[in-house]
Structures are given as C-alpha cells and as structure tokens.
C-alpha cells in the first residue's frame, strides 16, 4: 500500500481537485483507492458526497468522519477508533473529513515534543492519522491512499505528511507560488528529520504501528487555472522556466548535480477546464466522466475526452513514481486519430531548430526545446535546401492531429515519428522508457515546433 499526499501551503492551487480526479482515475484503472480528507475545510468530502449524505454524516455527532476516529484521543479515554469508510464506487472509498478536525491541532502540537521523551501516548496521538489509514486500507484492501490536506504548515499537516510515503505538489506558475516552494521544501525536510529523531525514541509496542515518515516528493503539477488569464505570456514563461531549478534545489536531497529534464519532476501541466469543473462538482463526478445528461454537450464533449487523456497520463506518471502497475487505455495510446490539438500545452516554451552537417557532408536538423534537450531529429539530406524544406514540413505537420505515431523498438523502448501528408517520415524522437513519456515528447513537439526559430550551424 502506498500513501500519497497532495501538499502546498498555498491555498487554491488545486490540491483537492487533483486528489479527487486522481482517486477516480486510479479506481477506474482497477487500483483499489482510498481517499482521505484531512483538511478541516472538508472540500474533498463535499466533492464526493451529495448534500443528503453530508447531512447524514455530519449531523451524526462526527462518528462517521476522521474526527470520529481520533475523538477518543481528544477525550483522553483511549486510542483511535476504527475509522468510518464511505464506499464511493467500485474500488473507491473515502474517509470523510470534518470541520471539527481543527480541534485536534492543539493536541497534536502538544504531543510532538513529548515524543522525544518516549511517551507512548504522544506517539499514539502523532501517528493517529497513519494508524487510522492503515486500518481502513487493510479493510478495503486499498493499494493506494490519497490524502488531501489544508493550505498551511500546522500540526495536522505535519502529522498527515508523516503518514505519507510520497508527496505531490500542485502549484501555480507565479511569484507567490514559487516563493512558497522555497519554504515548502525545507519544511518537509525538517518534518522528516524531526520524525526520524522521534521514531528512534518510540517505545516498542506490537499494537503501535509507526510510519516511516519518508514523505518523498515525486514531483509537481502545474495548474494553469490559478494563473491570471490576462497576464503576459512572457511572465508566465519566466516562472515556468524557474520551477525546475527551485524544485531541485529545495526538494531533492541532496540537490541534483546533473541537469535533469523538466519533465522528470513536472508530472503534468493541467489546463483550466473552465465550465467542466462546476459541472463536475454539481454532479459529484470527475470532469472526465461527464455525460450529455450532466450538461456536457457540444464542445464540452471534446473537452471531456481531452480531460480524460490529461488525467490518464498524469495518473500513469504518478503510478510510475509509486511503482504501481498501470496501463494506458487504447484511446490514449492510439495517437493516430485520437490525438487532438486540445491536448497540446497551450503556452509552452518555444524550442529551436538547429541545422547541422554530418561528418560525411550531409545535412540534418534537430528540434530542441527551451532547456536544450533534443526532442526530434531528421534523417540525412544531401542538399541543404531539402533539409530546410524538411524543417518547414515539421513546422506545418506538427499541428496535424494524426501526424504522430508511437512505435515500440525491438529493445522494448518507445519512440515516435512525425509524418508528412504523403506518409514520409520527417522526424523521429529519442527513445523513451514508457509510452506516457513518449506522449509527453509528442506534446512538446506539437507545442513548440511551429514557433521555433532556425539556427544554422552549417555556414
Ligand atoms: N484544472 C482546473 N480547471 C478549472 N478549475 C480548477 C482546476 N483545478 C482547480 N480548479 C478550481 O480552483 C479552485 C481551487 O481548487 P482546489 O479547491 O482544488 O484548490 P486547493 O489547493 O485544494 O485549495 P485549498 O488550499 O483551499 O484547499 C476550485 O474552485 C476548483 O474548482
Ligand atoms: Mg483543498
């Protein structure tokens, strides 16, 4: 069982929306998933449950929420109670959140230093969330647990993160978000270290299961809905370019010495799904499952399909990081025909074409993106004019939905080709370890080729 928390102390970046949609996606992919709402705002719970169910649960004295599970600790009468598990769908469960959970904050703060004195009661409080989750995961046989937390660095979140094996950071590409990242990385490191110190002091008790507290960051998701629409593209690009470095400096331990590709930790760039989101909330469904009866008609139909692909690809990247087997659907994999412009990252960093000469005097070109990574290479041309025509052809055809084709190499790796209208291959990618990485490569070519300038190094 893997536990993943969605964390950023900045509010409104999309933690809850991500947790909600990924929980649905993983459950659809036959991965038994338990969603846990540890945010006292309880937004995740209101996304999953309709008003009638909420009333039932919340007016029930809190017994059927996460608060009900930790309540015996609050009244100091004993240990946690097994948490209530709300079934949502096949392979999907929720431990509902509770506004009352904020009352637990003080008890957690009080007990954190007491762990250093090996006090068993202090460990029971500090690990309450982890142990409640562990009980629920065993009962449901969940393979994946997704935790949503509130936007702060308080004791509830420290305890939620200690319960987590992994952390995913949703963020907005703006100054405040990036400043926030600089505080977030060190905070995670401090919590991890603080827990290790306490872990070593813990009393050995069979009935006191302790988390590792590894809270390993698996990467970030850039959420475009949180950026101002009228902001100049340049400002947006500047922040986008800065994220990988800030992430590596603050979250990797030790910071990465080699330049990794931006895609290694950028798990996705999610667009603003606009009216799909309120429609999803109203229907208590993920955006990618909306039907015409929910109001998804006309242009929404294509948007729903594109949203499905976006979340399927994101889920596949997350499962890769968590080492959970995951298969992409044929409709996402089948680039030809199904790949549409709507999946293209709208404002990506422009790349550059380089025209080069091989040792035997022939010409070829490469397309690289902002960070210098080559994303497409041509074949060899005898004449320079033909190579330049090839570049023009790449520019034009990169905008065609069915010009890309994913292929499997004999060594099991994946690559894609870009074809002209007449079927001639005009570019080929590097090798990728997975189909989802390959799709991201396609997105990069599709988003940057048309606007990339040519650098001629042959004359
Ligand atoms: N990709 C998206 N497209 C459109 N709207 C979105 C998208 N992601 C999130 N939103 C909307 O943005 C708002 C904030 O999102 P969300 O509640 O998920 O953020 P959060 O980080 O959980 O906030 P908090 O810190 O308050 O818990 C919500 O109204 C949500 O519906
Ligand atoms: Mg939230």
Number of domains in the chain: 2
DSSP 372: S
**428 Cβ contact partners less than 8 Å away, ≥ 6 residues apart:** 376, 377, 378, 379, 415, 416, 417, 418
160 found inside a domain:
yes
Pairing of strands 363-368, 352-357: antiparallel
pLDDT score, position 232: 58
290 found inside a domain:
yes
Atom of ligand 1 nearest to the CA of 223: 1
Q: Do 207 and 301 fall into the same domain?
A: yes
Q: Which of 302, 327, 352 is the last residue of a domain?
A: 327
Of 225, 274, 303, the residue with max ligand 1 atoms within 8 A of its CB, to mutate for a pocket test, comes to 225
C-alpha 11 to ligand 2 mean position (Å): 7
Q: pLDDT by residue (tens digit) across 378-437?
A: 999 999 999 999 999 998 888 776 788 888 899 999 999 999 988 899 999 999 988 878
Three-state SS for 417? strand
Verify whether ligand 1 is closer than 6 Å to residue 17 (CB atom).
Answer: yes
Verify whether ligand 1 is closer than 6 Å to residue 6 (CB atom).
Answer: no
Q: Where are the alpha helices (DSSP H) in 49-174?
A: 51-58, 66-74, 104-114, 120-126, 128-140, 155-162
332 found inside a domain:
no
Verify whether ligand 1 is closer than 6 Å to residue 152 (CB atom).
Answer: no
C-alpha 54 to ligand 1 mean position (Å): 20
335 found inside a domain:
no
- Phi, psi for residue 428 in degrees, rounded to 5: -140, 145
Mean pLDDT of 21-48: 98
**Most confidently modeled range among 86-100, 246-260, 343-357:** 86-100
Three-state SS for 367? strand
Q: Do 245 and 368 fall into the same domain?
A: no
C-alpha 255 to ligand 1 mean position (Å): 30
Atom of ligand 1 nearest to the CA of 272: 3
Ligand at minimal distance from the CA of 20 is 1
Domain range for 379 is 342-456
Ligand at minimal distance from the CA of 7 is 1
336 found inside a domain:
no
**Most confidently modeled range among 81-95, 179-193, 326-340, 388-402:** 81-95
How far apart CA 13 and CA 101 sit, in angstroms, is 22
At residue 256 the predicted structure's pLDDT band, cuts being 50, 70 and 90, is: low
Three-state SS for 453? strand
pLDDT score, position 337: 35
The domain that contains 440 carries what CATH number? 2.30.29.80
Mean pLDDT of 98-105: 96
Verify whether ligand 1 is closer than 6 Å to residue 227 (CB atom).
Answer: no
214 found inside a domain:
yes
C-alpha 68 to ligand 1 mean position (Å): 27
How far apart CA 219 and CA 225 sit, in angstroms, is 19
Q: Do 96 and 141 fall into the same domain?
A: yes
pLDDT score, position 257: 58
C-alpha 147 to ligand 1 mean position (Å): 15
What tokens appear for 147 in the block? Answer: 């935790």
At residue 258 the predicted structure's pLDDT band, cuts being 50, 70 and 90, is: low
Q: What residue's CA is closest to ligand 1, atom 23?
A: 12
Q: Do 294 and 353 fall into the same domain?
A: no
Instruction: Residue 438: name the closest of 351, 333, 337 by CA.
Output: 333
Instruction: Residue 1: name the closest of 162, 142, 140, 203 by CA.
Output: 142
249 found inside a domain:
yes
Verify whether ligand 1 is closer than 6 Å to residue 350 (CB atom).
Answer: no
What tokens appear for 165 in the block? Answer: 């094996």
**362 Cβ contact partners less than 8 Å away, ≥ 6 residues apart:** 380, 381, 382
Q: In terms of pLDDT, which residue wins out, 362 or 448?
A: 362
Ligand at minimal distance from the CA of 13 is 1
C-alpha 51 to ligand 1 mean position (Å): 20
Verify whether ligand 1 is closer than 6 Å to residue 171 (CB atom).
Answer: no
Q: Do 87 and 12 fall into the same domain?
A: yes
Yes or no: say if 247 and 224 are a contact pair by the CB < 8 Å rule: no
Three-state SS for 393? helix
How far apart CA 29 and CA 32 sit, in angstroms, is 9
Rg (CA), the chain: 24
Q: Do 374 and 404 fall into the same domain?
A: yes
How far apart CA 18 and CA 169 sit, in angstroms, is 10
38 found inside a domain:
yes
What tokens appear for 131 in the block? Answer: 């142990």
Instruction: Residue 44: name the closest of 34, 52, 30 by CA.
Output: 34
The residue whose two tokens read 């015409």 is 292
Q: Do 285 and 230 fall into the same domain?
A: yes
Q: Do 252 and 357 fall into the same domain?
A: no
Please state, as a whole number, how many other Cβ atoms lie within 10 Å of the Cβ of residue 456: 13
148 forms beta bridges with: 6, 37
Quick one: the chain helix, strand, coil %, rounded to 5? 45, 15, 35
Q: What residue's CA is closest to ligand 1, atom 10?
A: 14
Ligand at minimal distance from the CA of 45 is 2
Q: In terms of pLDDT, which residue wins out, 395 or 214?
A: 214
The residue whose two tokens read 């080559």 is 374
Ligand at minimal distance from the CA of 152 is 1
Q: Do 323 and 346 fall into the same domain?
A: no
Verify whether ligand 1 is closer than 6 Å to residue 46 (CB atom).
Answer: no
Atom of ligand 1 nearest to the CA of 20: 18
Q: pLDDT by residue (tens digit) across 292-336?
A: 999 999 889 989 998 998 899 899 889 989 999 888 777 766 543
Q: Do 184 and 272 fall into the same domain?
A: yes
In this predicted structure, the answer to whether residue 345 has a pLDDT above a threshold of 50 is: no
pLDDT score, position 261: 59
**Reading across the β-sheet that carries 404-408, which strands appear in turn?**
404-408, 414-419, 425-428, 374-377, 363-368, 352-357, 453-456
Q: Do 405 and 437 fall into the same domain?
A: yes
Yes or no: say if 9 and 151 are a contact pair by the CB < 8 Å rule: yes
Q: Which of 297, 327, 357 is the last residue of a domain?
A: 327
Stated pTM of the model: 0.79
Mean pLDDT of all residues belonging to the chain: 89
Verify whether ligand 1 is closer than 6 Å to residue 74 (CB atom).
Answer: no
The domain that contains 154 carries what CATH number? 3.40.50.300
Q: Do 277 and 346 fall into the same domain?
A: no
Verify whether ligand 1 is closer than 6 Å to residue 420 (CB atom).
Answer: no
């Amino acid at each position: 069982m893997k536990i993943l928390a969605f964390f950023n102390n900045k509010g409104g970046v999309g933690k809850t929306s991500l947790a909600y949609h990924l929980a649905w996606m993983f459950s659809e992919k036959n991965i038994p998933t338990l969603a846990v709402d540890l945010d006292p705002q309880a937004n995740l719970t209101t996304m999953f449950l309709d008003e009638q169910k909420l009333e039932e649960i919340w007016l029930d004295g809190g017994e059927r929420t996460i608060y009900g599970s930790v309540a015996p600790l609050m009244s100091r009468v004993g240990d946690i109670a097994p948490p209530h598990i709300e079934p949502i769908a096949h392979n999907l469960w929720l431990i509902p959140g509770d506004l009352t959970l904020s009352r637990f904050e003080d008890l957690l703060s009080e007990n954190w230093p007491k762990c250093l004195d090996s006090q068993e009661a202090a460990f029971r409080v500090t690990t309450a969330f982890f142990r409640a989750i562990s009980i629920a995961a065993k009962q449901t046989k969940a393979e994946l647990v997704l935790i949503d937390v509130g936007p702060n660095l308080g004791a509830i979140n420290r305890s939620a993160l200690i319960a987590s094996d992994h952390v995913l950071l949703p963020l907005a590409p703006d100054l405040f978000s990036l400043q926030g990242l600089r505080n977030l990385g060190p905070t995670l490191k401090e919590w991890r270290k603080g827990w290790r110190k306490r872990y070593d002091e813990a009393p050995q008790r069979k009935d006191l299961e302790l988390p590792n507290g590894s809270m390993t960051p698996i990467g970030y998701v850039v959420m475009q809905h949180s950026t101002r629409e009228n902001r100049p593209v340049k400002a947006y690009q500047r922040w986008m370019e800065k994220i990988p470095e800030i992430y590596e400096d603050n979250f990797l331990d030790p910071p990465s010495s080699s330049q990794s590709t931006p895609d290694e930790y950028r798990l996705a760039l999610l667009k603003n799904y606009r009216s799909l989101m309120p429609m999803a909330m109203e229907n208590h469904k993920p955006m990618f499952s909306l039907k015409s009866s929910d109001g998804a008609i006309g242009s929404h139909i294509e948007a729903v399909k594109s949203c499905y692909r976006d979340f399927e690809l994101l889920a596949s990247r997350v499962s890769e990081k968590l080492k959970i087997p995951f298969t992409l659907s044929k409709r996402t994999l089948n680039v030809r025909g199904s790949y549409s412009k709507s999946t293209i990252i709208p404002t990506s960093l422009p790349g550059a074409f380089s025209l080069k000469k091989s040792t035997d005097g022939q010409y070829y070109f490469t397309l690289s993106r902002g960070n210098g990574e080559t994303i497409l290479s041509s074949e060899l041309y005898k004449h320079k004019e033909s190579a330049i025509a090839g570049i023009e052809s790449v520019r034009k055809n990169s905008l065609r939905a069915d010009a890309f084709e994913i292929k499997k190499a004999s060594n099991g790796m994946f690559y894609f080709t870009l074809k002209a209208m007449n079927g001639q291959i005009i570019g080929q990618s590097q090798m990728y370890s997975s189909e989802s990485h390959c799709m991201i490569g396609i997105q990069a070519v599709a988003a940057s080729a048309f606007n990339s300038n040519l650098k001629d190094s042959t004359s």
